[in-house]
Amino acid sequence: MDEKRRSEIAALWSTETASGVTVHPTRAAVDALANLGCDMGAALPLLEEAEAAFAAEAWGSLAQIVARVNAVMAGRLVGIREGEPSTWDAYRSRTRGALHGRLAATPPVDRTQAPDYADRVRAAWIGKCIGTALGDPVEGWTRQRIAAEHGIIRDYLVPPKVENDDTAYPILVLHALDEHGVDFTSADLALEWVAHLPFAFTAEWAALENVKAGVLPPESRWDRNPCGAWVGGQMRTEIHGLLAPSDPERAGELAFRDAGISHYREGMDGAVYAAALMSLAFDKPRAESLLRDALRFVPAEGSFAATVEETIDACRRYGDAVRVMDALAPSIDRHHWIHTLPNIACVVTGLMLGEGDFERSILTTLRCGYDTDCSTGQAAALIGCLAGTEGIPERWSAPIGSGLRTYVDGFEEVGFDRLVEWTVGWGRRLAAAGATRSGRAKGVGQA
Residue 108 pLDDT grade (very low, low, confident, very high; cuts 50, 70, 90): confident
pLDDT for position 99: 73
Q: Quote the distance between the C-alpha of residue 66 and its chain's center.
A: 28
Sign of the C-alpha dihedral computed for residues 5, 29, 17 and 392 taken in this order: positive
Output the pLDDT for position 219.
Answer: 94
Q: Is the pLDDT of residue 439 over 70?
A: no
CB of 373 within 8 A of CB of 136? yes
Reply yes or no on whether the pLDDT at 251 is more than 60: yes
Task: State pLDDT tens for residues 5-33.
Answer: 999 999 999 999 999 999 999 999 999 99
What is the pLDDT averaged over residues 413-432?
A: 97
pLDDT digits (tens, 9 = 90+) for 265-300: 999 999 999 999 999 999 989 999 999 999 999 998
> Residue 152's pLDDT is what?
92
- In 80-110, which positions are buried (b, 16+ CB within 10 angstroms) versus exposed (e)? beeeebeebeebbeebbbbeeeebeeeebeb
What integer is the mean pLDDT of 172-180? 98
pLDDT, position 81? 87
Say which residues have a Cβ less than 8 Å from residue 306's Cβ, sequence separation at least 6.
none
Distances (CA, A) of 111 to 108, 171, 382, 385: 9, 22, 16, 13
Provide the pLDDT confidence category of residue 441 given band limits of 50, 70 and 90.
very low
Q: How many CB atoms lie within 10 A of CB 436?
A: 12
For the segment 381-385, the average pLDDT, to the nearest whole number, is 97
Question: For residue 397, which of 418, 383, 407, 411 has the smallest C-alpha distance?
Answer: 383
Q: What is the 3-state secondary structure (H, E, C) of the chain?
A: CCHHHHHHHHHHHCEECCCCCEECHHHHHHHHHHHCCCCCHHHHHHHHHHHHHHHCCCHHHHHHHHHHHHHHHHHHHHHHCCCCCCCHHHHHCCEHHHHCCCCCCCCCCCHHHCCCHHHHHHHHHHHHHHHHHHHHHHCCCCHHHHHHHHCCCCCCCCCCCCECHHHHHHHHHHHHHHHHCCCCCHHHHHHHHHHHCCCCCHHHHHHHHHHHCCCCCCHHHCCCCCCCCECHHHHHCHHHHHHCCCCHHHHHHHHHHHHCCCCCCHHHHHHHHHHHHHHHHCCCCCHHHHHHHHHHHCECCCHHHHHHHHHHHHHHHHCCHHHHHHHHHHHHCCCCCCEHHHHHHHHHHHHHHHCCCHHHHHHHHHHCCCCHHHHHHHHHHHHHHHHCHHHCCHHHHHHHCCEEECCCCCCCEEEHHHHHHHHHHHHHHHHHHHHHHHHHHHCCCCC
Adjacent-strand bridge partners of 6: none
Q: Please give the pLDDT value at position 76.
A: 92
Q: Is the pLDDT of residue 437 over 80?
A: no
Task: Provide the pairing of β-strand 22-23 with 403-405.
Answer: unpaired
Domains of the chain, residue spans: 3-80, 106-433
Half-sphere exposure of 445 (CA within 13 A, CB side): 7
**Rounded to an integer, what distance in angstroms lies between the CA atom of residue 414 and that of residue 137?**
23
pLDDT tens digits for 295-318? 999 998 889 999 999 999 999 999
Residue 353 has pLDDT above 70, yes or no: yes
For residue 394, what pLDDT is reported? 97
pTM higher than 0.85: yes
Mean pLDDT of the chain: 93
Task: Report percent pLDDT > 70 for the chain.
Answer: 95
pLDDT for 78 equals 86
Mean pLDDT, residues 141-166: 95
CA distance 268 to 340: 9
Query: Tell me: the pLDDT tens digits for 221-243?
Result: 999 999 999 999 999 999 999 99
pLDDT reading at 107 higher than 90 = no
CA distances from 439 to 254, 350, 432, 433 (A): 20, 40, 11, 10
Query: 326-340 as b/e, with b when 16 or more CB fall inside 10 Å?
Result: ebbeebbeebbbbbb
Interval 254-263: pLDDT, tens: 999 999 999 9
∠ CA 208-200-370, rounded to 5°: 125
Encode pLDDT of 56-103 as tens digits.
Answer: 999 999 999 999 999 999 999 988 888 899 999 999 999 988 876 666
* pLDDT tier for residue 443 given thresholds of 50, 70 and 90: very low
**Domain 106-433, what fold?**
ADP-ribosylglycohydrolase fold (1.10.4080)
